[in-house]
Structure 1
Amino acid sequence: MSVNGVKITADAYLVCLTHALSTEKEEIMGLLIGEIDENRICCVSAVILLRRSDKQADRVEISPEQLSDASTQAERLAHQLQRPMRVVGWYHSHPHITVWPSHVDVQTQSMYQMMDEGFVGLIFSVFNQEKSTKHNRIQVTCFQSINQSPEGEPPQLMRLEVPLYIAPADCISKPCLDSLVNMPRILCQEEEECYLRTTQVPDMDLVFRIHNGAVFTEALCHIMEVISGPLMQTLEHRLQQNKAHIAELRQEKEELEKQLADEAAGKISDSTRQDPESPYKTTSV
Structure 2
Amino acid sequence: MISEKYLRKVILTADVYAICVQHALTTEKQEIMGLLIGEVDEDRCISHISACVILHRSDKQPDRVEISPEQLCTASMHAEQLANKLNRPMRVLGWYHSHPHITVWPSHVDTGTQAMYQTMDPLFVGLIFSVFQSDPRLRSNQVQLTCFQAFQGTSELERREVELVIKSSPLQNYNLEGKYGLYFLCGISNLPRILIQEEVDCHDVKDNNTQDELASLHNDAFKTLALVHIVSKVARPLCDDLEERLKAVNARIKALESLKKHLQKN
Aligned residue identity for 2:237: P
Structure 2: which amino acid aligns with 1:252? Answer: L
Equivalent position to 2:99, from 94, 97, 107: 94
Distance in 1, matches of 2:140 and 2:198, equals 30
Match of 2:161 in 1: 161
- Does residue 1:177 correspond to 2:181, yes or no? no
Q: Is 1:224 aligned to 2:231, yes or no?
A: yes
CA drift at 1:251: 2.9
Which of 2, 7, 12 is the equivalent residue of 2:6? 2
Is the partner of 1:98 in helix, strand or coil? coil
Q: Is the 8 A contact 2:210 2:216 kept in 1?
A: no
Deviations 1:50-100 (A, max 9, x none): 000001111100000000010000011111111111000000000001111
**Does structure 1 residue 116 correspond to structure 2 residue 121?**
yes
Normalised by the size of structure 1, how large is the TM-score?
0.84
Of the three residues 34, 37, 56, the one matched with 2:38 is: 34
Change (3 A) 1:106 1:209: same
Matching of residues 18-57 of structure 1 within 5 Å: 18-37=22-41, 38-57=43-62
Amino acid at match of 1:224: V
Matched, 1:233 2:237: no
Aligned partner of residue 56 in structure 2, secondary structure: coil
Structure 1: unaligned runs, 5 residues or longer: 150-154, 260-285
* Residue in structure 2 matching 1:204, options 178, 198, 212: 212
Determine helix, strand or coil for the equivalent of 1:97.
coil
State TM-score, norm by structure 2: 0.90
**Residues 11 and 167 of structure 2 are in contact (CA less than 8 Å); yes or no, is this contact kept in structure 1?**
yes
In structure 2, distance between residues paired with 1:134 and 1:251: 43
1:9-20 matches, within 5 Å, as: 9-20=13-24
Rounded to whole Å, the distance in 2 between the matches of 1:215 and 1:141 is 35
Letter of the aligned partner of 2:225 in structure 1? E
User: Contact between 1:47 and 1:176, CA under 8 Å: does it hold in 2?
Assistant: no
Q: Distance in 2 between matches of 1:102 and 1:190?
A: 25
Deviations 1:162-197 (A, max 9, x none): 111111236784222211111000000000000111
Structure 2 residue matching 1:76: 3-state secondary structure: helix
1:132: Cα distance to partner? 4.1
How many angstroms apart in 2 are the aligned matches of 1:75 and 1:97? Answer: 35
Residue 177 of structure 2 corresponds to none
Equivalent in 70, 76, 80 of residue 65 of structure 1: 70
Secondary structure in 2 aligned to 1:36? strand
- Per-residue displacement from partner, 1:106-130 (whole Å, max 9, x unpaired)? 1100110011000000000000122
Closer, same or farther in 2 for the Cα pair 1:114/1:197, shift >3 Å? Answer: same
Number of residues paired by the alignment? 253
> How is 1:242-253 mapped onto 2 (pairs within 5 angstroms)?
242-253=249-260
Q: Which runs of 5+ in 2 are unaligned?
A: 175-179
Aligned to 2:64, the other structure's residue is in SS state: coil
Contact 1:92 1:123 in 2 (8 A): yes
Structure 1 residues 170 and 110 mapped into 2: Cα distance closer, same or farther (>3 Å)? Answer: closer
Q: Rg larger in 1 or in 2?
A: 1
The one-letter code matched in structure 2 to 1:239 is L
In structure 2, relative to structure 1, the CA distance for the partners of 1:247 and 1:132 (3 Å cut) is: closer
